[in-house]
Amino acid sequence: MAYEDLRGWIAALERAGELKTIHAEVDPILEITEIADRVSKAKFSKALGGTALLFENIKGHPGSQVLINQFGSARRMNLALEVDSLDQVADRIRAFMDVKSPHGFLDKVKMLPMLAEMGKFFPKTVSTGPCKEVIKRDNFSLRDFPVLQCWPKDAGRFITLPCVVSRDPKTGKRNVGMYRLQIYDERTTGMHWQRQKVGAEHYREALRTAAQAKVGASAPARASAAVDVMARTSGGSVLAEGSQPPGKMEVAVAIGTDPAITFSAIVPAPPDVEEYLIAGFLRQKPVELVKCETVDLEVPATAEIILEGHVHIDELRAEGPFGDHTGYYSLEDLYPVFHVSCITQRKNPIYSTTIVGKPPMEDGWMGKAVERIFLPLMRLTIPELVDINLPVEGVFHNLMLVSIRKSYPGQARKVMNAIWSLGQAMFTKCVIVVDEDVNVQDIGDVTLKVLNHIDPERDIQFILGPVDSLDHSSRLPNYGSKMGIDATRKWPSEGFNRPWPDEILMDEKTKALVDKKWKELGLE
């Protein structure tokens, strides 16, 4: 049964022994981060990832509660998605992908149960919900919420686990993404739309529309030239010399949603698949949505807090630094500004948050869940994929280990380029491709095989292209180099004519013999 809301999820965590309630007073400035960081790294717990934490005594915020580390272990990630193993979700995705076109009436009849099941995933709009218990159009402040300052050199307090809802100005399609929000004052925040994110594309589309209206449809080149939204401009204006026409883009932010909705905001879904639909698929029940009060957007009805407002397309402001998941501070840069016009919330809302920093941390477990669940979708484009591993130390975009079923010369390089063409996978700084008999989940095995198999000059290739905005080492912001390593066995058809040695393995007969004698040997 799907979790109805964040509170139902918290109750489930408590029943499972996965929640620790903290009654001692704690400070949202740095102190909660230090506590959560120690717990997530299991310094005080035998269980990797510790427990979820619910703080009930927040300095400066009497009566407030803060939930953190809710996804911070393999067990909690399974619990969040209500499965025993993430492979169960992948299997459900695979089952839908394996549906074949019906041939005749009987085939169509057989498809009806699956079509009915798919239909129950679509979101539905309801008249009202718990997120409307309190509506504030005036006399509100973002500083009323116990928003964390995570690290000492952060530019301020940041909302770190928001579901940011926007709509494509051209197509009307909704997007739900997770973009951090720096609190500037009582009613404004930064909107960390990195260039390659869907929210940023919505913003660029709004800018194109406004620019074309200003310069006329006969001047698309001039309008297009205005669209490098995150360009380094002076004075915080997107277009120089006053050429930017005024305009606003509607945005809503949901904080404290049920786990399936929160998780769906980070998944690298195909562009035409809405996150609310993904959440319905994950929770096996449709997401209930309500209309916002001041903007034409729909938000989860059971969320704890909703922020409604606009991003002005003629305004950029310095955002950051921020202690990021790379283990380093992402540097100050210009980003759009979110102006909050209305807050709706539950009575006594629970503030849901996370921290990022040096791994392992909570976001690492969320990333591993994405890896497992979306492997079947990657295989649609790269059918030779056997398995992938995004090591948590590689912070998602720095390293991908890939095993393939090799069938022809040069296939490993084809796979590298295919990965760099896939959505967020385009940021992967280093792709290492191995044969199918290498266990990419075993870093020791990968290290042994890769370093034995490669001739560096022959097997390493470099390309230039887009890189993650958080990559502080690239030659330019958002643009740099990536490396691929072909660590597969080399074939004569790839120009390798020497014998390839056999791997050292004991025969099965001897292994079975020793298995039988093991207790007798007294080596337990």
HEC string for 197-219 = CHHHHHHHHHHHHHHHHHHCCCC
d(CA 461, CA 491): 18
> Six-digit token pair at 126?
């309801």
| C-alpha closest to that of 324 among 495, 482, 166, 160 | 160
In 3-state terms, what secondary structure has residue 22?
strand
In 3-state terms, what secondary structure has residue 518?
helix
Distances in whole angstroms, Cα of residue 149 to Cα of each of 28, 138, 323: 6, 26, 10
Strand partners, 338: 189, 311
List of E strands, 197-304: 248-255, 288-291, 298-300
Amino acid code (one letter) for 467 = V
| C-alpha closest to that of 148 among 56, 66, 57, 50 | 66
Other beta carbons within 10 Å of 500:
11
Catalytic residue among 5, 154, 258, 324: 324
d(CA 70, CA 353): 9
HEC string for 385-432 = EEEEECCHHHCCCCCEEEEECCCCCCHHHHHHHHHCCCHHHHHCCEEE
Strand partners, 58: 26, 61
263-269: long-range contacts at Cβ-Cβ below 8 A with a sequence spacing of 24 or more? 263/71, 263/80, 263/81, 263/366, 263/369, 264/176, 265/163, 265/164, 265/176, 265/177, 265/178, 266/178, 266/366, 266/370, 267/370, 267/373, 267/374, 268/370, 268/374, 268/423, 268/424, 268/425
d(CA 522, CA 177): 57
Active site residue 324: yes
| C-alpha closest to that of 237 among 281, 199, 207 | 207
Compute the residue count for the chain.
524
d(CA 268, CA 8): 26
Helix, strand, coil shares of the chain, percent, nearest 5, are: 30, 25, 45
Asked if residues 169 and 195 have their Cβ atoms less than 8 Å apart, the reply is: no
Catalytic machinery residues: 324
